[in-house]
Amino acid sequence: MGGVGYPTPRAPHRVALTITLMRVPQLRLALNQIDSRVGDLVGNTETILRWTRHSAEQGAHLVAFPEMALTGYPVEDLALRSSFVEASRTALRELAVRLADEGFGELPVVVGFLDRSESDRPKFGRPPGSPRNAAAVLHNGEVILTFAKHHLPNYGVFDEFRYFVPGDTLPVLRVRGVDVALAICEDLWQDGGRVPAARSAEAGLLLSINASPYERDKDDTRLELVRKRAQEAGCTTAYLAMIGGQDELVFDGDSIVVDRDGEVVARAPQFSEGCVVLDLDLPAASADAPTGVVDDGLRIDRVVVSQDPVPAYEPELSGGYAERLDDAEEIYSALVVGLRAYVAKNGFRSVLIGLSGGIDSALVAAIACDALGAQNVYGVSMPSKYSSEHSKGDAAELARRTGLNFRTVPIEPMFDAYMGSLGLTGLAEENLQSRLRGTLLMAVSNQEGHIVLAPGNKSELAVGYSTLYGDSVGAYGPIKDVYKTWIFRLAEWRTRAAAERGQTPPIPENSISKPPSAELRPGQVDTDSLPDYPVLDAILELYVDRDQGADAIVAAGYDRELVVKTLRMVDTAEYKRRQYPPGTKISAKGFGKDRRLPITNGWRESV
């Protein structure tokens, strides 16, 4: 658009009109989708410095990092430790100084950290010390703005009412002539609060920093959420996410930017660390922008960094759009990232797996090799007199295909010694084999320094089809939250993916095609004790993941006797699950912090 001049009819002379048009401000935004380690303030600081340097090299005008990037997320009860809170606050101030010392002082940087309220008083129901899940804007060597998450999640794996006090402001940062409203994660997931407040404040951009854990199909939910919130806020909305793993949680990235109409402007890759840099045309901040209290009682806290827009330039960076992974590749990637993070962040180097020739241990081995490299994966075949020749052969073939370190240690001599002393029969005899294998694995672990990976899947853990101190032995359970039907799908996907890349599939076809069996007695198969896995998993998903009762599950089309039997197995196995190691969470409700049921429990679903 330019100036307009036009003739006036029947006028004795022509009037020239000059219209001065306001130029739309431009902003180059850098969203750093990074990994943090809980408690590692030094390491996380270095990561933030490195990616700020990269953002500056790309010509960014505003740089952002995820929720609690400085401390890692979730910090859990570390939030209640005043020494850690103060260390976080100190590290933030030091980070601001270092950014300025390295020449980035003029570049505003948004970073999440652990703070505390300066004004809250001790109060019943409030966390002692009033910690805050907070973020800050760093500029010219100083912390020029801080704010705390307004909506605190208290469901699933989240306990933020236990740890934090909520924020009561709408932070607005004026940078390069644009008003940028700031939010933290749950502020977008819940209705009200900072989203409508951003509209009331006439913000040109809503920037939300997040540490949103991965769940299957969550990427679709997340996209629709961001689209909806952008329309409600009436402005372009940027959703910056974390990647990596922390204990059982995985963070998948998938940062998203949409315009005010909900159209996607940029979308980052899943499970990949990196920086999304994009040029945005945004509305100019108003000279008489609203002040005071707006929606949900939030008080606008506006800080001006730079009033004047940048000189006009030709936009060069669009941010791009990363293609989505299909369901199987997405879940497999989450399992690889979760295991890799657990091993690396806890200072381990190698893992040990009992290889039975079955599909569970084969899939765990494939995940481990992809996560850590085959040279850091050790497998042990521990055949008994009931182990089939094909199972022993399948374990050896898996090792050959992947290149992992492999040995065979028969357990029959140990088994015979126990049996000679105890004379066990039936289930006790079967479980003895599993426990001997667990003891053997832990002995090798102690001797050689590997951590043991437990191969149990969600179906088995749900119904107690595992042996305490046997196949439950381990430091981490990579497939703990994966139902058996998905075990097969993931193994099949990994096979196809290898073939498409011209590689040798890591899992032998026989491990996928043969009927699952623990091989603890002659001719044993899983269906001797359990329903067919597709039926079992469907019932379990309704009961475990969706908290449906027996009547509702029967109404969904399942046999009542089978439903009641299955639910009873689930209920009575709670004590076993409590003793199982942590493992990567991929579902809406895994066996961990987001499913908390009493072990001593007299309630049973109706018969």
Tens of pLDDT, residues 240-283: 999 999 999 999 999 999 999 999 999 999 999 999 999 999 99
Mean pLDDT lowest among 138-142, 205-209, 294-298, 575-579: 294-298
Of 172, 178, 142, whose CA–CA distance to 61 is shortest? 178
pLDDT at residue 3, rounded to an integer: 33
Mean pLDDT lowest among 28-32, 81-85, 219-223: 219-223
pLDDT tens for 346-368 read: 999 999 999 998 999 999 999 99
Q: How many residues make up the chain in this entry?
A: 607
Mean pLDDT lowest among 71-75, 152-156, 233-237, 365-369: 152-156
Q: Could you identify the residue written with the tokens 């974390």?
A: 242
The arithmetic mean of pLDDT across residues 293-298, rounded, is 89
Element (H, E) at 569: helix 560-572
Is residue 177 in a domain? yes
The arithmetic mean of pLDDT across residues 155-184, rounded, is 92
23: confidence class by pLDDT, cuts 50, 70, 90: low
201 and 340 in a single domain? The answer is: no
Give me the catalytic one of 160, 185, 345, 430: 185
Q: Is 215 a catalytic residue?
A: no
Which of 510, 526, 542 is the last residue in one of the domains?
526
213 and 336 in a single domain? The answer is: no
pLDDT at residue 507, rounded to an integer: 94
286 and 353 in a single domain? The answer is: no
The arithmetic mean of pLDDT across residues 403-408, rounded, is 96
Round the average pLDDT of the chain to a whole number and report it: 90
Is residue 562 in a domain? no
Reply yes or no on whether the pLDDT at 389 is more than 90.
no
Is residue 570 in a domain? no
313: confidence class by pLDDT, cuts 50, 70, 90: confident
Cα 300 to Cα 64, 194, 289: the distances in Å are 20, 10, 10
Which of 526, 551, 574 is the last residue in one of the domains?
526
Residue 38 burial (CB count, 10 A): 16
Of 556, 568, 563, whose CA–CA distance to 604 is shortest? 568
Name every residue whose Cβ is closer than 8 Å to that of residue 35 and which is 6 or more positions away in sequence: 47, 242, 243, 244, 251, 273, 341
pLDDT at residue 520, rounded to an integer: 62
Reply yes or no on whether the pLDDT at 607 is more than 80.
no
Reply yes or no on whether the pLDDT at 411 is more than 70.
yes
Reply yes or no on whether the pLDDT at 198 is more than 50.
yes
Q: Is 67 a catalytic residue?
A: yes
404 and 273 in a single domain? The answer is: no
Reply yes or no on whether the pLDDT at 22 is more than 70.
no
Is residue 6 in a domain? no
Reply yes or no on whether the pLDDT at 182 is more than 70.
yes
Can you spell out the DSSP letters for 224-289?
HHHHHHHHHHTSEEEEE--EEEETTEEEEB--EEE-TTS-EEEEPPBS--EEEEEEEE-PPPPTT-
232 and 363 in a single domain? The answer is: no
pLDDT tens for 520-530 read: 667 777 777 78
280 and 352 in a single domain? The answer is: no
Reply yes or no on whether the pLDDT at 174 is more than 50.
yes
Q: What is the dihedral of CA 157, 159, 165, 167, to 10 degrees?
A: 20
CATH number at 401 reads 3.40.50.620
Instruction: Decide if 387 contacts 413 (C-beta within 8 A).
Output: no
8-state DSSP, 479: T
236 and 379 in a single domain? The answer is: no
430 and 497 in a single domain? The answer is: yes
Q: Percentage of the chain surpassing pLDDT 90?
A: 75
- Here the tokens at position 600 are 């001593």
289 and 342 in a single domain? The answer is: no
Q: Please give the tally of structural domains in the chain.
A: 2
Is residue 154 in a domain? yes
Is residue 64 in a domain? yes
274 and 362 in a single domain? The answer is: no
Is residue 245 in a domain? yes
Alpha helices in 14-81 (DSSP H): 41-57
Which of 494, 526, 558 is the last residue in one of the domains?
526
Range of the domain at 127: 26-304
CA distance 519 to 513: 16
Query: Residue 80, exposed/middle/buried by CB under 10 A (0-12, 13-18, 19+)?
Result: middle
Phi, psi of 556 (to 5 degrees): -80, -5
Give me the catalytic one of 94, 142, 149, 186: 149
pLDDT at residue 407, rounded to an integer: 96
pTM of the model: 0.90
Number of H helices, E strands in the chain: 18, 19
217: confidence class by pLDDT, cuts 50, 70, 90: confident
Reply yes or no on whether the pLDDT at 584 is more than 50.
yes
Reply yes or no on whether the pLDDT at 131 is more than 90.
yes
- Here the tokens at position 368 are 């481990």
CATH number at 245 reads 3.60.110.10
pLDDT at residue 48, rounded to an integer: 98
Q: Is 57 a catalytic residue?
A: no
pLDDT tens for 430-482 read: 889 999 999 999 999 999 999 999 999 999 999 999 899 998 999 999 999 99
Reply yes or no on whether the pLDDT at 122 is more than 70.
no
270 and 367 in a single domain? The answer is: no
Rounded to the nearest angstrom, the gap between the alpha carbon of residue 120 and the centroid of all alpha carbons in its chain is 31
Is residue 85 in a domain? yes
179 and 214 in a single domain? The answer is: yes
The arithmetic mean of pLDDT across residues 397-401, rounded, is 95
